[in-house]
Amino acid sequence: MDGADAAETKTSPRTAARRALAAAWAPIRTSGRVYGRGARWLGSMMPKGLYARSLIIVIVPIVLLQSIIAYVFMERHWQTVTMRLSSAVTADIAALIDVWETYPQDEEGRTLRRIASQRLGLDVEVQRGVDLPPPGPKPFFSILDAALSEQIARQIGRPFWIDTLGRSNLIEIRIKLESGVMRVVARRSQAYASNSHIFLLWMIGSSLVLMAIAILFLRNQIRPILTLAQAAERYGKGRETDFRPRGAREVRQAGHAFIEMKRRIERARDQRTTMLNGVSHDLRTILTRFKLSLALMNTPDIEDLRRDVDEMTRMLEGYLAFARGDAGETAVEVDLRALLADLVADAERQGHSVSLSIEGDATIIVRPDAFRRMLFNLVSNAARHGDTIAVTAIHEGRWLTLHVDDDGPGIPEALRDEVFKPFVRLDEARNQDEGGSGLGLPIARDVARAHGGDIALEDGPLGGLRATVRLPG
């Protein structure tokens, strides 16, 4: 027990230090999590486009700068000028009160009114035997009201009543005197910096001009980036593109890199096509010799050899078609209705019941041979395993959706990704013909992806498999 207590005594300061450190780090971790959530929320609210984000980068500093300038002007300059003007008007009123109470006046105060009107620009009237009106509603925010009230209380020090809300260009001040009430009407501009809106208008106008110039130059800088993105998208869909690098130096570098990448891809594709043509010619020559040799032999045992040669020929064509891909074919406008009608007619000649439905525009820009090969593989696959086939094409907006349905045995959901791998044949699932090479669906998916789309397999309405092709139109 003594040893355990000693060990606990030795480790307790270390444990206490760890707890203190964890307690000190707890607010930091909490603030970090709050900051992370705030940053993610702000990122989700921000626009995704480069042009919109660049506009925010340009406009937000201008708005902040103008807001700070306006605040400083309103808080400092405008308030100071208003305070000084109000002080001057109040001093004039105080002088008139002193003149009225110190020096003898005529019965109606005509001399005082004349001096106030001609020298001070004030309309003065002394009302005998009256009192101040009840206090009116105070404005929610008025620099003039606050400045005048402060100056009258400090310089005159008598009960007063002011109205800065009645007439827009005049203010009324009433001061309680011993013999009555002095009513003073002055122009608002005498006590208030009324021309400050000109500064604000100039500030807002100049900001709008600067933002318009910034937006114009920014649009010219963003346009080459959008052109590069469109050229890359068109090239990814197999369409010809005439792209010339423009814009800033970095954008031009990216454009030249894209052109060089395009040339390398085309050069590698041409070399592959040349090699495949050579291989195809050599192998077809050998197979032709086999066929001629078998044709000269009249023994009944050569039928199996002939079937093997035919099978090798079909497999060779499938392998070359898969390896060749689109072979640099140019994308052109194709009549989808005529193409699908030919495929349906071929399937009907084989004794299958085929229905065709086309919705929307029947034209699409694709590589004709590659697109025909993709559809042929899908329709042939459906015809091989089903008796009834339904082909549906829906062209809406920017996308073309093709459905090829059959009433065959279908493919289990867990194996639908496997059939898109080369040389994979699901004999049990689809009862695939022994002569198949396992390249029909992989070729179809490669063609679809080369056009910027994809192929998916799912359960069909006919009870079999549905192959859905989605391509940009």
- 8 A C-beta contact, residue 467 and residue 382: yes
Indicate whether 64 pLDDT > 80.
Answer: yes
pLDDT tens, position by position, 212-242: 888 888 888 888 888 888 888 777 766 777 7
Angle formed at CA 400 by CA 397 and CA 403, multiple of 5 degrees: 140
In percent, how much of the chain has pLDDT > 90?
1
Q: Which amino acid is it at 332?
A: V
Indicate whether 342 pLDDT > 60.
Answer: yes
CB proximity list for 141: less than 8 A, separation 6 or greater: none
Both tokens of residue 54?
A: 């660049």
Query: Which stretches of 327-367 are DSSP H helices?
Result: 336-349
The domain made up of 329-472 has a fold known as Heat Shock Protein 90 (3.30.565)
Question: Which strand (E) or helix (H) includes residue 402?
Answer: strand 399-406
pLDDT tens, position by position, 124-140: 888 888 888 888 777 65
Q: How many CB atoms lie within 10 A of CB 19?
A: 10
Burial class (CB in 10 A: 0-12, 13-18, 19+), 242: exposed
- 8 A C-beta contact, residue 466 and residue 389: no
Both tokens of residue 467?
A: 């192959």
Q: What pLDDT score does 428 carry? A: 46
Q: What pLDDT score does 437 carry? A: 59
Query: Could you tell me which CATH number the domain at 72-196 has?
Result: 3.30.450.300
pTM of the model: 0.47
Q: Among the listed ranges 49-58, 188-197, 212-221, 388-397, which one has the minimum average pLDDT value?
A: 188-197
List, in sequence order, every residue forming a beta bridge with 364; answer none if it has no partner.
334
Indicate whether 13 pLDDT > 60.
Answer: yes
Q: How many residues does the chain have?
A: 473
Q: How confident is the model at residue 7 (pLDDT cuts 50, 70, 90)?
A: very low
Query: Can you state the angle between helices 249-296 and 303-324, rounded to 10 degrees?
Result: 170
Rg (CA), the chain: 45
Average pLDDT over residues 154-165: 86
Question: Which strand (E) or helix (H) includes residue 364?
Answer: strand 363-366
